[in-house]
Structure 1
Amino acid sequence: MKLLAPHVRYLKQEEFRVLLLNSNKRLIRHQRVSLGSLDAALVHPREVFRPALTAGATSLILVHNHPSGYPTPSEQDIALTEQLYMGGKIVSIEVTDHIIIGFSDHVSLKDQKQM
């Protein structure tokens, strides 16, 4: 998370980004897909998968910040991850992780076994 944490860690609103990966799990690019409010970012699956399809990505990592500074996943975070994971199966793009960035650390939903 060295790539994105410095840019989103202290934002006053949620920012949702995707890391687009090739078949070797190498970064193609990262892209912001939503800029939200103090405690939510409206994210639609088409906005997540459109850049991945355009870039020829085979997998992606979801990343967003929590302006509160605490990276603990909310119920909405977990539900969104499930929705996007299933959407990825439909378009053959693997959602490999969802990382939430706080002020001093981050949480991987994959590592937390929440996806």
Structure 2
Amino acid sequence: MEENQKNVPAKRVDIVSVKLVREKTMMYKNRRVRSPQDAYELMKEFLGDVDREHFVVLCMDTKNQPTNIQVVHIGSLNSSIVHPREVLKSAILSNSASIICGHNHPSNDTTPSPEDIAVTQRLMEAGQIVGIDVIDHLILCENNFRSLKESGYM
């Protein structure tokens, strides 16, 4: 050891465990997500009438059965900042096979922004690295939605 390291106090390292915490539950009558419409209905019911942009991730098992849903980020009236690590965190912790992302547009316009398209691409790349399939990204509005997969962005 170098002379100047002998008098340095030891560094405390925390010993931790990481787990998901269930805050509440909701019933899903379809049991499986078979289409973007199914995912839209579940996300819409979960979000209700929010007035700001909410980015959510729907985690699913190998049979496309929802296991959990989480609000990853709450943005301003017209924007949201989303990082892949936050989106994939609950999917990794719950051993999900796949996810569907979604966010609402309070403007009621389902047109994806350049940022929506860019974040979708980043999520797909990150999902590939960790082995979680990003199935779709939905833009939710009051009475309709847009699937970025069906629109050719994925």
CA deviation after TM superposition for structure 1 residue 2, in Å: 1.4
- Does residue 1:71 correspond to 2:120, yes or no? no
Number of residue-to-residue matches in the alignment: 115
Superposition RMSD in Å? 1.2
Alpha-carbon contact 1:25-1:59 (below 8 Å) kept: yes
Q: Distance in 2 between matches of 1:57 and 1:6?
A: 21
The one-letter code sitting in structure 1 at the alignment partner of 2:147 is S
Secondary structure, counterpart of 1:4 in structure 2:
helix
Between 1:5-14 and 1:67-76, the stretch displaced more is 5-14
Query: Comparing both chains, which one has the higher relative contact order based on Cα–Cα distances under 8 Å and sequence gaps of 6 or more?
Result: 1
CA deviation after TM superposition for structure 1 residue 15, in Å: 0.1
Please show how residues 1-115 of structure 1 align to structure 2 within 5 Å. Answer: 1-8=40-47, 10-115=49-154
So what's the TM-score if we normalise by structure 2?
A: 0.71
> What do the CA deviations read for 1:40-93 (whole angstroms, capped 9, x no partner)?
111111100110000010100001000101111111100100010000001000
So what's the TM-score if we normalise by structure 1?
A: 0.94
CA deviation after TM superposition for structure 1 residue 9, in Å: 6.0
Q: Which has the larger radius of gyration?
A: 2
- What is the percentage of aligned positions where both structures have the same residue? 38
Structure 1 runs (4+) deviating above 4 angstroms are none
Gap regions ≥5 residues in structure 1: none
